[in-house]
Amino acid sequence: MTGLLAALKPLPRAYNKEIQEPVEPLLDCAKTVCHSLKIMLVVLGTLKVNDSRMQEALTVDMLATDVADYLVRKGVPFRDTHHIAGAVVKKAEGLGTSMDKVTLSDLK
């Protein structure tokens, strides 16, 4: 779609000859989306969720992304939040505890 829009942007409004070239990628894109949706319908139609296994798979380490998101909302650049969240995980491992048990003084 981006390629199509980039090809159409510099064209004058009534210039139709060059529009024939970007149509093929557009049709390929539409075809790919259509096929992807059909596959998704089959996958979702046969999907069986095992609630107990999902609960077992949840770990506190998943909070690292929440830490990064929180810091981004506070104005910290994401490239920095990634390293900070990693440091929090490392600190928790060093203390022999989970991320949710690390104290505020340890985080500071």
| Pair (65, 100) in one structural domain | yes
CA angle 83, 101, 94 (to 5 degrees): 55
- So what's the pLDDT on residue 17? 58
CATH number, domain with residue 81: 1.10.40.30
Q: Identify whether 51 is part of a domain.
A: no
Q: What is the pLDDT along the chain (108 residues), one digit of tens a residue?
A: 777 777 777 776 656 656 666 677 778 888 999 999 999 999 999 999 999 999 988 888 788 888 889 899 999 998 899 899 889 889 888 999 888 888 888 887
Classify residue 52: in a domain, yes or no. no
Residues 36 and 9 in one domain: yes
Domain contains 66? yes
Counted domains in the chain = 2
Kindly state whether residue 19 falls inside one of the protein's structural domains: yes
Q: Write the DSSP symbol of residue 76.
A: -
What's the one-letter identity of residue 30?
Answer: A
Instruction: Determine the pLDDT at residue 13.
Output: 65
Give the residue among 65, 61, 71 at the shortest CA–CA distance from 101.
Answer: 61
Q: Who's near 107: CB < 8 A, 6+ residues apart?
A: 88, 91
Domain of residue 96 covers 57-107
